[in-house]
């Protein structure tokens, strides 16, 4: 576990119960397979090896409206209370509230190895996400090979950025200039862990593994004094 969120800009917290994690995984897995019109026996960890058979449904399945879940989706779990309880000590004088940009309070990310599905190094504050605390819940892929990459301590410094043309991710979000000059750390997690990171922490959704498709749930929180 990383020991100092305020120093590193990112921390791993073990918070979710086994039953909550199981429900998150099961529901998200079935939701995606249904959107892809794929058999429920399909293994999402191997999605990169069979996605072509259902490629006609990929854009639909990964559209913003279908990637997001409302808070009611997880109402029979302790998801939001557990997350809030875990991160509240990091901001003892702030009121934390799940953020809904109009599509839902959580969203899944499905990142294939070798396809550059994840977005390049950036900050949440460089885009429409603004100053929101991000929480990633790994569902499939728990080694450093499936991890997001983080530039530790970057929330405390300024970095050059640029707005790419023809950006296939968020069109209004700036990216880190000359990102390959920096060393990114990748994290080992386990089921039930939360990866919590600051809105100014430079990070990337690109993965370095070759054998496992990464599936994660993302939740964001606003902080009010």
Give the mean pLDDT of the chain. 93
Residue-wise pLDDT tens digits, 60-82: 999 999 999 998 999 999 999 99
Region 154-172 average pLDDT: 80
Q: What angle do CA 197, 207, 223 make, to 5 degrees?
A: 15
Task: Give the containing element (helix H, strand E) for 195.
Answer: strand 193-197
- Cα end-to-end span (Å), the chain: 28
Strand partners, 215: 110, 140
- State the pLDDT confidence band at 1, using cuts at 50, 70 and 90: very low
- State the pLDDT confidence band at 171, using cuts at 50, 70 and 90: low
Count, residues in the chain: 225
pLDDT at 135 over 60: yes
Distance CA 57, CA 135 (A): 28
Cβ proximity of 199 and 125 under 8 Å = yes
Helix (H, G, I), strand (E, B) or coil at 224: strand
């Amino acid at each position: 576990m990383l020991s100092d969120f305020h120093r590193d800009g990112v921390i791993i917290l073990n918070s979710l119960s086994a039953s909550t994690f199981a429900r998150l995984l099961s529901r998200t897995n079935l939701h995606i397979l249904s959107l892809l019109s794929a058999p429920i026996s399909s293994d999402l960890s191997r999605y990169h090896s069979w996605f072509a058979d259902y490629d006609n449904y990929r854009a639909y399945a990964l559209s913003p409206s279908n990637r997001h879940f409302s808070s009611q989706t997880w109402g029979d779990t302790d998801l939001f209370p557990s997350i809030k309880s875990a991160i509240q000590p990091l901001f003892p004088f702030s009121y934390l509230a799940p953020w809904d940009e109009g599509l839902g309070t959580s969203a899944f990310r499905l990142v294939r190895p070798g396809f550059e599905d994840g977005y390049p190094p950036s900050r949440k504050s460089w885009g429409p996400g603004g100053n929101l605390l991000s929480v990633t819940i790994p569902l499939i892929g728990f080694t450093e090979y499936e991890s997001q990459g983080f530039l530790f301590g970057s929330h405390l410094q300024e970095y050059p950025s640029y707005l790419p043309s023809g950006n296939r991710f968020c069109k209004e979000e700036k990216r880190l200039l000359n990102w390959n000059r920096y060393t990114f750390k990748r994290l080992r997690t386990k089921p039930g862990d939360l990866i919590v990171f600051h809105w100014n922490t430079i990070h990337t959704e690109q993965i370095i593994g070759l054998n496992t498709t990464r599936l994660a749930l993302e939740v964001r929180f606003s902080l009010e004094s």
